[in-house]
């Protein structure tokens, strides 16, 4: 619900702060007083075009701030999705700034937002209905949702069936495209799979081969060094043999002097360490020994792996996965029509489910259309539209227009005269008739929710007397369920208001300003009398105003 509207420097309004409450609020004033400026300002706050022409002459910028009570859970979720934080239980503030030199900015709860987001949330905040409004009830694109809401139809099964059908169709299309592409490359695919299967690459194989190759190449390089070391240690002339000979000689003379005994002990230790070194050398030679043919085979294998990887533009470790992928493609190609036939069956089953759910929804819409037509018809006579007829058209859509909302086109149509053909609401020539049709339809749809604030802009234009009274009675009835603001020239409508705002224009000779003030009871009587009699308010007009206020 709209609770406050603050306007600064918009056209003729210098500064204006308005508070709004529940029920029916009426806005009146003489022609040209600036009632449209209020609606323009509200429209600006709700994402309307930020025209610099709205900025009051001499001001740097125009600012409009609209305050609404706590947003619904759905609206709060939408704002959260767009990065706007909303504290639970807190009001919603929408502010729009338009600069005189062009450009505009938007804020929601003092957080920067786009005008696009304002326009997206606007339908959940305020519905504006006027003779030239091309949104809301006059826009056929919203008629299907209005009918579904009126009938409380659950469109969930159709939406889910539609998504299932789309997924099945996508899978079939992908499979057909893959088979078509694979069929063009079948010869290459068969050759590639054959090559890779013959090569049989394994993950990590390249690194293992490269490491083994490095070890064998290193062994070849140190083989000569190992042979030289063995010659120094082994054989009759080797170092170990000479140490053993020295030990035998020392054994004979070691008893002759302590130093000789120590020398014998040192030589014995050297023999032991030398023997250990000899064993380690033998172990290393055994470990480093390799078959030259194995080195050649490893090098050839490594070359094949790397060449194959370059050919397919992948890393050698990815060859095994590539082999499996290409083999799977070839298998799917060979499976061919069998796989396609299965997917076609899935599409057929999903289509049948969708059509069944859509048929159920269509039947519900046709039944609801009859109830809505009857409800609107019941509102036409009091609004002096006795000869008019209203109907809700529920027609099938072409398959290319099917969606998660079903396969129906829904549009509200009217015929204003006996024998005249039905036509869309927007084709009605008379503005007064259109306004009354909108009101009748809105009354019929009133219990179905929507925005918590509705604005009717001069919906009573061109009517008076009993028709204006009927309009006022229906507006008051609507206002019992939602906040309703009405710009009116009709005293019968004005008398129904729970709150009455007077819009007036004043000039000091140099500057003209538009102001708005809430009328007390006595002031309401005088304003309604003015609406009845014109410039000169008569006692008779005041008496008639009293009667209107008493019966409202």
What order do you get walking across the sheet with 389-396 strand by strand?
389-396, 408-415, 423-424
Looking at the DSSP assignment, which residues form a beta bridge with residue 107?
A: 95, 112
82-123 pLDDT, tens digit each: 888 888 888 899 999 999 988 899 999 999 999 889 988 888
d(CA 414, CA 376): 11
Report the pLDDT value the prediction gives residue 442, as an integer from 0 to 100: 79
SS3 state of residue 2: strand
291-300 pLDDT, tens digit each: 677 777 888 8
d(CA 425, CA 49): 25
Average of per-residue pLDDT across 416-427:
82
First to last CA, the chain: 24
Its sign, for the CA torsion 248, 250, 251, 252, is: positive
Give the residue from 18, 6, 15 showing the smallest Cα distance to 485. 18
Q: 72-76, 277-281, 393-397, 411-415: which has the minimum mean pLDDT?
A: 277-281
Report the pLDDT value the prediction gives residue 168, as an integer from 0 to 100: 95
Query: Which one is predicted more confidently, 145 or 285?
Result: 145
Its sign, for the CA torsion 291, 297, 302, 305, is: negative
Report the pLDDT value the prediction gives residue 289, as an integer from 0 to 100: 62
Report the pLDDT value the prediction gives residue 33, as an integer from 0 to 100: 64
Give the residue from 1, 81, 13, 75 showing the smallest Cα distance to 41. 13
- Report the b/e string of 423-448 with b at 16+ CB within 10 A: eebeebeeebbbbbbbbbbbbbbbee
Q: 40-54, 290-304, 507-521: which has the minimum mean pLDDT?
A: 290-304
Tokens of 244: 């053993």
d(CA 81, CA 77): 6
pTM for the full model?
0.60
Residue 47 · residue 95 · CB < 8 Å: no
């Amino acid at each position: 619900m709209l609770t406050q509207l603050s306007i600064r420097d918009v056209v003729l309004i210098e500064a204006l702060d308005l508070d709004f409450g529940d029920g029916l609020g009426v806005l009146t004033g003489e022609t040209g007083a600036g009632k449209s400026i209020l609606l323009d300002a509200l429209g600006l706050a709700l994402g309307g075009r930020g025209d610099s022409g709205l900025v009051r002459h001499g001001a740097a910028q125009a600012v409009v701030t609209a305050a609404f009570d706590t947003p619904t859970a759905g609206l709060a979720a939408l704002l959260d999705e767009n990065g706007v934080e909303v504290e639970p239980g807190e009001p919603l503030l929408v502010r729009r700034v338009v600069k005189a030199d062009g450009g505009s900015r938007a804020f929601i709860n003092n957080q920067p937002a786009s005008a696009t987001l304002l326009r997206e949330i606007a339908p959940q905040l305020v519905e504006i209905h006027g003779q030239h409004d091309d949104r809301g009830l006059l826009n056929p694109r919203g008629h299907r949702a209005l009918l579904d809401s009126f009938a409380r139809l659950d469109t969930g099964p159709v939406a889910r069936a539609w998504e299932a059908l789309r997924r099945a169709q996508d899978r079939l299309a992908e499979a057909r495209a893959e088979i078509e592409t694979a069929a063009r490359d079948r010869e290459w695919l068969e050759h590639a799979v054959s090559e890779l299967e013959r090569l049989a690459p394994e993950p990590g194989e390249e690194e293992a081969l490269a490491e083994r190759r490095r070890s064998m190449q290193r062994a070849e390089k140190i083989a000569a060094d190992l042979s030289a070391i063995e010659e120094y240690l082994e054989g009759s002339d080797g170092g170990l043999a000479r140490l053993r000979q020295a030990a035998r000689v020392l054994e004979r003379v070691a008893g002759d002097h302590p130093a000789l005994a120590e020398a014998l002990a040192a030589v014995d230790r050297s023999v032991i360490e030398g023997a250990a070194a000899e064993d380690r050398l033998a172990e290393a030679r055994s470990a480093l020994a390799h078959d030259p043919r194995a080195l050649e085979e490893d090098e050839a294998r490594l070359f094949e792996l790397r060449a194959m990887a370059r050919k397919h533009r992948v890393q050698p470790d990815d060859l095994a996965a590539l082999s499996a992928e290409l083999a799977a493609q070839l298998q799917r190609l060979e499976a061919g029509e069998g796989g396609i036939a299965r997917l076609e069956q899935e599409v057929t089953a999903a289509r049948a489910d969708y059509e069944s759910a859509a048929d159920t929804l269509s039947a519900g819409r046709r039944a609801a259309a009859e109830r809505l037509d009857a409800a609107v018809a019941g509102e036409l006579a009091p609004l002096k539209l006795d000869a008019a007829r209203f109907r809700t058209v529920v027609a099938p859509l072409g398959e290319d227009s099917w969606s998660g909302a079903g396969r129906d086109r829904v549009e509200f149509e009217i015929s204003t005269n006996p024998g005249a053909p039905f036509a869309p609401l927007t084709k009605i020539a008379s503005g007064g008739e259109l306004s009354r049709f909108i009101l009748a339809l809105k009354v019929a749809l009133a219990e179905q929710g929507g925005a918590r604030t509705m604005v009717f802009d001069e919906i009573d234009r061109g009517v008076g007397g009993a028709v204006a009274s009927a309009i006022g009675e229906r507006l008051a009835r609507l206002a019992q369920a939602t906040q309703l603001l009405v710009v009116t020239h009709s005293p019968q409508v004005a008398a129904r208001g729970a709150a009455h705002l007077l819009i007036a224009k004043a000039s000091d000779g140099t500057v003209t300003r538009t102001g708005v003030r809430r009328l007390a009871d006595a002031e309401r009587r005088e304003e309604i009398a003015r609406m009845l009699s014109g410039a000169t308010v008569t006692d008779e007009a005041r008496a008639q105003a009293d009667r209107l206020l008493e019966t409202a």
